[in-house]
Amino acid sequence: MSTEPLDLYLLTLEIEEKVGGIVHGRSVNIKNQKFTMNHNGHFEEKENLSFGTCFRHMTSDTDNFLALDNMRNPQRSIDEFTNSIKRRQIGGSYDQIFEQQHFPKGILKFGDIDRDSLKNEGENLLNDIRTHLKEYLKDDFKITLSLEIEEEQKTFTSSSGAHIVQKFSRVYLLVHLISIKHWKIDLYRMIGGIHMSSISWEKLLKTVTEISAEANLLSKAKIETRLEGPLLFSNDATWTLFHETIGHAVESENNVSTYLENYLGTKVAPSHVSVIDDKGIDSVGSYGFDDEGFKAAGAMIIEEGILNTMLYGLKDLKRNVMPTGNTRSSTYKTKPQVRQSNLIIEPGDFTTEELLERSNNGYFIGPMFFASADVSTGHFMIYPQYIQKIEDGDLRDIFLCPPFYGNAVDVLRNLGAIGKDIINRPAFCIKNNDRIPVGMISPKVAIENVRLRS
């Protein structure tokens, strides 16, 4: 991947000399290769290259941002940026604690994806997957497959001496099935990660087998509009629920107060529940330093039911709170925000069979189409791809359903048994139109005495 056509460090020093404060320089260089294959076997390849640089100037009172698209002559933009700051400058500075923490240097690499190998084999790989799917599904479903390979290089420098280069490689494989006979039947599954092993043929076949079985069952699906009795959330549904209702509620830069803010240090869930934001685990949300130059430390959000910490950024230094290394942006065009990385719901001791027994006469909640939450109140919406009735400890009738609504406080209080088997899959989180990769690491979870309304 190409290096920057300008000296970030010299420009950050130039801005600091003119206007003071703390200045960050950041470049993002992304090479994205995407292969798609449709139901008829038509194969298409697209490559997208993106490169740009941005600068951020901060004091305790101001936060100014400049994104540069034209890298050949940045000086005019820099001059306009500094003059604009001077005209409305208020002053102020950050505490010395930031200066003391902010001198990292180095080159870090995450992932070992062989882009050239996947590029050469992409069409054959998708064709093999399509062939296996058609064996299971005959001609009842339209099949769309996509393979996405991403290489990213981020460079961060600051006027206080930091210089960090991070290189990432990621791969995503998406399987999407749409029924030809029943337009409401729509299934998709994504696997991948930062290592070649994340899309091994064994994992691909397992995914094909699972989603094909679900698709064939859904051909006989009924419609259900109620969710009553005990609920058993799939791995995907569990993570999605926690990501929306807890993960976003502890991101400190929300524009509104969240329903969890006043509960720090208090019990918000049963003692067997723990939730971690982990930047170091092997997953697509991993990194070593965030986009403010802070070391990416793990954050125990909920520890044995107690809300232990929020996720913090540089601005929280004004409240004497150290950043947790969670401030990120996927592009040079937007200011970094406090975001989740790899959200982990710690597994429990129960097998899937035991969870089904405990959730008898209830429903199994399948993977999500999408979900959302109002972090100010804890109200959430989930839209499963399907749900299944649980009878006599087994999964029975399968249903299509509308979105369901509930409140996170009720769910947290009634979290029951937690499964021992976890998944580690890629996901994407969109916040203020900025899409970043995040790790989905989650078991199944039983939820008792909660009724979700449609």
pLDDT digits (tens, 9 = 90+) for 105-152: 678 999 999 988 898 899 999 999 999 999 999 888 999 999 999 999
Specify the pLDDT at position 433. 92
pLDDT at 326 exceeding the cut of 80:
yes
Average pLDDT over residues 29-43: 95
pLDDT band at 2 (very low <50, low <70, confident <90, very high): very low
Lowest mean pLDDT, pick from 1-15, 136-150, 336-350, 423-437: 1-15
With vertex at residue 436, the alpha carbon angle to CA 433 and CA 441, rounded to the nearest 5 degrees, is: 130
What is the tens place of the pLDDT at every residue in 285-297? 999 999 998 989 8
Specify the pLDDT at position 320. 82
Q: Edge-to-edge, what's the strand order for the sheet holding 445-447?
A: 222-223, 394-400, 387-391, 363-365, 231-233, 445-447, 415-418
52 with 155: CB under 8 angstroms? Answer: no
pLDDT band at 100 (very low <50, low <70, confident <90, very high): very low
pLDDT band at 60 (very low <50, low <70, confident <90, very high): confident
**How many angstroms from the chain centroid is the CA of residue 283?**
10
Q: Between 75-87 and 8-19, two packed helices, what is the crossing angle to 10 degrees?
A: 30
Domains of the chain: 8-218 (3.30.2290.10), 223-447 (no CATH)
pLDDT at 244 exceeding the cut of 80:
yes
Specify the pLDDT at position 87. 78
Compute how many other C-beta atoms are within 10 angstroms of the C-beta atom of residue 339: 25
Specify the pLDDT at position 93. 59
Question: Which of residues 126 and 21 earns the better pLDDT score?
Answer: 126
Tokens of 79: 């001059």
Mean pLDDT of all residues belonging to the chain: 91
Specify the pLDDT at position 101. 53
Q: What is the dihedral of CA 121, 127, 132, 137, to 10 degrees?
A: 150
Question: Which of residues 182 and 347 earns the better pLDDT score?
Answer: 347
Question: Which of residues 1 and 405 earns the better pLDDT score?
Answer: 405
